[in-house]
A = this chain, B = another copy of it.
Amino acid sequence: MPTPHESATQNEDANIAALKELLRIPSVSTQDAYRADIRRAAGWIHERLTAIGFLVEIHETPRHPVVVGRWTGAGSDAPTLLIYGHYDVQPPDPVEEWVTPPFEPDLRDGSLYARGASDDKGQLFVHIAAIEAILAADGTLPVNVTFVVEGEEEIGSPNLGSFVRNHADLLAADAALVSDTHIRGLDYPTIVYSLRGLLYTQLDVSGPRGDLHSGHYGGAIHNPAQALTEIIASMHDEDGAVAVPGFYDAVLPLQDDERADIARIPYSEDTLLDETGAPAAWGEPEYSVSERIGGRPTLEVNGLISGYTEPGAKTVLPAQAMAKISCRLVANQDPDTIFELVRRHIETVAPPTVRWELTKIAAGKAALTDRNAPVVQAAVRAYQEHWGTRPDFVREGGSIPVVAVLQDTLGVPVVLMGFGLPDDNLHAPNEKFSLECFRRGVATSIGFIQQIGSIRS
């Protein structure tokens, strides 16, 4: 009989082919046009988990369904591991910048290119492949496993919180595992212990009831596009700190030992500039770039639109202007409080010469995990075995709202076991997932599951 690791190796080609099937489904959660594809992706997960022996149900929510699959063969005395993933993806635009089409997975240079390859279909599939390999080799698992796979992560998981609260018994577990983060590099495995939260809003500014001729009215009407820029410009000070009053009030300061840990990881301004192509670093001068990304909250403009944006000239005074504005939050900041602070700030700075409306689109809390929890230490050992080195503990700048939900609602430690690479082009054209990360990820997941049979929360 093969070992689980041998079984995984034998099945690799078939597994990549299966992952490609899932990646071909354009399950973009933010746009209604993809609603049918979202359901196809949920159906695909249902089918795959059923095939490896899980009892699977698709649960409706007000928007996109949650797939829950349970394997309880370890018996009621064994602990239960909850594995979270998401089958939805970011929109692929700008589509013209993709080398190969975003929903036609292409294997080249040792990586699989497709929207969702790394975030999160590929990383979710790592655990499906690992469990399949253990079951194929051993006929059983040392723990019960519950998969909870949602379709709304990229829109801020608006329904997952209530779903988890309403199904706390179904989802009860001793530990939770989330693979939706990246490692520093193939030689630098990483366990994320801190994630930023997210508040995503839309600011609409309007003035005249319709677009006006800028010659006939310009100078006597406050241009809504100009007013929008003035409101947004007021939200940062000259040093790059957020200037919304009260924004930093709840922020837990970074501890000295954490700052020392962060400083040991060689991520310099030069690295940042190499990775991004930006002309210079930016942000709060009293923090390193790693600290700004991992330990400090931000306010970003994610989109702007107003008036005429085609080639050439149109002398319009636009009736409306819109900005997408989001905040990355750190532990102890409440998204609802921050929304209210932003709203009050706009109320203070917005002039009576325009109308405005701020709409909350998504909100999720930040999360901090105890680095000393036994399940986290099991993950440390699994990485060490299959990547040849001890993993770094890092703070991640991205948001996975479910982590706070699982911690707060189910009361379980959440292990953030990432397998993506920093250059995976998440949320951007040419997203990819390295085959080497897939292979090591499957081995690490097998090793982790084999160790946690005795862990109870």
A residues apposed to B, CB below 8 Å: 29-32, 90-91, 93-94, 97, 154-156, 196, 198, 200, 207-223, 225-226, 228-230, 232-236, 240, 272, 276-284, 289, 292-293, 296-298, 300-318, 321-324, 326, 328, 351-355, 361-362, 396-399, 422, 425-429
Do A352 and B280 touch (CB < 8 A)? yes
Do A97 and B210 touch (CB < 8 A)? yes
State which of B226, B314, B322, B399 has its C-beta within 8 Å of the C-beta of A90: B314
Known contacts A226-B236, A302-B308, A354-B279; decide if A218 and B328 are in contact (CB<8 Å): yes
State which of B207, B308, B352, B426 has its C-beta within 8 Å of the C-beta of A91: B308
Could you list 24 examples of A-B contacts with CB < 8 Å? A30-B311, A31-B310, A91-B308, A154-B313, A156-B313, A196-B215, A211-B427, A213-B426, A215-B399, A217-B397, A220-B292, A222-B240, A222-B278, A226-B232, A226-B233, A226-B235, A228-B229, A229-B229, A229-B304, A301-B321, A304-B305, A305-B305, A309-B322, A314-B427
Do B219 and A313 touch (CB < 8 A)? no
A284 proximity list for chain B (CB < 8 A): 219
When C-beta atoms are compared, the residue in chain B nearest to A428 turns out to be B211
Interface centre among A280, A313, A397, A426 (most CB of B within 10 A): A313
CA distance A426 to B310 in the complex (A): 19
A90 proximity list for chain B (CB < 8 A): 314
Known contacts A276-B208, A426-B213; decide if A220 and B282 are in contact (CB<8 Å): yes
CA distance A297 to B219 in the complex (A): 7
Known contacts A328-B215, A429-B210; decide if A315 and B361 are in contact (CB<8 Å): no
CA distance A306 to B307 in the complex (A): 12
Do B397 and A216 touch (CB < 8 A)? yes
A226 proximity list for chain B (CB < 8 A): 232-233, 235-236, 300-301
Q: Report the minimal beta-carbon distance from A260 to chain B, rounded to whole angstroms.
A: 19
When C-beta atoms are compared, the residue in chain B nearest to A430 turns out to be B210
When C-beta atoms are compared, the residue in chain B nearest to A90 turns out to be B314
Known contacts A213-B427, A306-B303, A316-B303; decide if A296 and B219 are in contact (CB<8 Å): yes
Q: Report the minimal beta-carbon distance from A244 to chain B, rounded to whole angstroms.
A: 13
When C-beta atoms are compared, the residue in chain B nearest to A272 turns out to be B220
When C-beta atoms are compared, the residue in chain B nearest to A97 turns out to be B210
Known contacts A282-B220, A426-B216; decide if A304 and B306 are in contact (CB<8 Å): yes
Known contacts A277-B210, A298-B218; decide if A30 and B293 are in contact (CB<8 Å): no
CA distance A281 to B219 in the complex (A): 9
CA distance A207 to B276 in the complex (A): 8
Do A282 and B353 touch (CB < 8 A)? yes
Q: Report the minimal beta-carbon distance from A165 to chain B, rounded to whole angstroms.
A: 22
A279 proximity list for chain B (CB < 8 A): 207, 352-355
A397 proximity list for chain B (CB < 8 A): 215-219
CA distance A307 to B302 in the complex (A): 6
Do B316 and A276 touch (CB < 8 A)? no
CA distance A278 to B211 in the complex (A): 11
State which of B211, B313, B353, B362 has its C-beta within 8 Å of the C-beta of A362: B313
CA distance A94 to B309 in the complex (A): 12
Q: Report the minimal beta-carbon distance from A419 to chain B, rounded to whole angstroms.
A: 15
When C-beta atoms are compared, the residue in chain B nearest to A201 turns out to be B313
Do B307 and A313 touch (CB < 8 A)? no
Do B316 and A302 touch (CB < 8 A)? yes
State which of B236, B302, B309 has its C-beta within 8 Å of the C-beta of A317: B302
When C-beta atoms are compared, the residue in chain B nearest to A156 turns out to be B313
A229 proximity list for chain B (CB < 8 A): 228-230, 232-233, 301, 304
Q: Report the minimal beta-carbon distance from A404 to chain B, rounded to whole angstroms.
A: 14
A210 proximity list for chain B (CB < 8 A): 97, 277, 425, 428-429
